[in-house]
Structure 1
Amino acid sequence: MKPKRVATPVLVGACGMAVIAATGVWALSGGLYGCTGADQELAPTLASLSVLDAHPSTTRPRDDRYSGCDEDDGFAYAGQHYRYTTPRADVLSFYSRAAAEDGWRLASVNPSPSPAPGSLAVDTSALCFEKPVAGTTAHLAVWFPGDLGDSAGTFGLEVTASHDGSAWC
């Protein structure tokens, strides 16, 4: 057999294996599914945002602050829940001011975002704000679990962001 006839299939095979290996590394690092490394590193930055510490004086933190990266949708998140006894409108008014003072821009308002009976909840944010954070757009949601029939008397703040733009309120 001639060396040229052997070298060509070996070279093509080696190149093919290199492409398959590179594709596998890309897919495992979040290229096809899940969070990218950059978004995983973004979660602690979101958790340190001062807006998550801001709350009306009559409210108290409930549980610990949480953060992570949503593998299903591929975005970083951080949040905090609070118990409240003041009127809901006062909570919304507080965050309208506090978020604006912290540089957040109001993106949407839906004071009572309860889903219709039997339908899926698409957006449960009563307030949604946006702000540049770490080279991407972060979204701050103020939401009430009671709108979904859960945990009346609590509200949540959640910040989401992704370097590929897949985050939202």
Structure 2
Amino acid sequence: MAAFTLYSLDRSMFLSEECSSENMEIAPGLASYEIFDVHPEGASSSGGASVECDEDDDYVYAGKSYKTSDGNADILSYYKDAAQADGWRPMVSNAPSPPPGGSNSLCFSKPMGDTAAYFSVHLDGEVGAQTRSYWLMVAAAHDYAPQDGDGLC
């Protein structure tokens, strides 16, 4: 099992002091999802999982970064299979399409108490590059669970 850091969650760990108390309650569960420990062969974590609050949109998220020296690895397909095997449901807008800069992403959802958690994969760099970076994110809001993951993926 890959190591990641779970922090004792209090307001001091967030960049923002504006995280709602409701979102603070769901924050501890976000970094504990096992999907953060899953990665393709040859990929390595470039840090522990972090938890932050987005005060503008009032949601909380956990993220973890990886890098791989295999620029041809099909990271999105790997996480699509891994996420579905772990019970994550693909979102409607899950067709990988590169925005400017050559990044790709995928989004999935899973029930989490009275709301939903959204798992996303964000891939940077070009296929075939010597090193590629990507990051994983699980986001949730106590009062917002969009059908298409809008704003949380």
* TM-score, structure 2 normalization: 0.72
Identity of aligned residues (%): 40
Q: CA deviation at 1:113?
A: 2.8
Choose from 111, 116, 120 the match for 1:141.
Answer: 120
Counterpart Cα distance in 2 of 1:76 and 1:125:
22
Gaps of 5+ in 1: 1-33, 117-123
Q: Which residue of the other structure, out of 95, 99, 105, is the alignment partner of 1:114?
A: 99
Hey, what's the Cα distance between the residues in 2 that align with 1:98 and 1:89? 15
RMSD of Structure 2 on Structure 1 (CA): 2.4
Q: Which amino acid aligns with 1:142?
A: V
Matched, 1:104 2:88: yes
Q: AA paired with 1:140?
A: F
Give the whole-Å Cα distance in 2 for the aligned partners of 1:40 and 1:81.
22
Change (3 A) 1:58 1:89: closer
The change in CA–CA distance for 1:74 and 1:88 in structure 2 (over 3 A counts) is farther
In structure 2, give the amino acid aligned to 1:96. K
Aligned residues: 126
- Distance of aligned partners of 1:125 and 1:165 in 2 relative to their CA distance in 1, 3 Å threshold: farther
Structure-1-length-normalised TM-score: 0.66
SS of the equivalent of 1:155 reads strand
Runs of at least 4 residues off by over 4 Å: none
Gaps of 5+ in 2: 1-17, 146-150
Among residues 151, 155, 160, which one is paired with 2:134 in the alignment?
Answer: 155
Distance 1:87 1:154 in 2: 9
Rounded to whole Å, the distance in 1 between the matches of 2:72 and 2:90 is 18
Q: Which has the higher contact order (CA 8 A, sep 6+)?
A: 2
User: Is 1:110–1:125's contact at 8 Å kept on the other side of the alignment?
Assistant: no
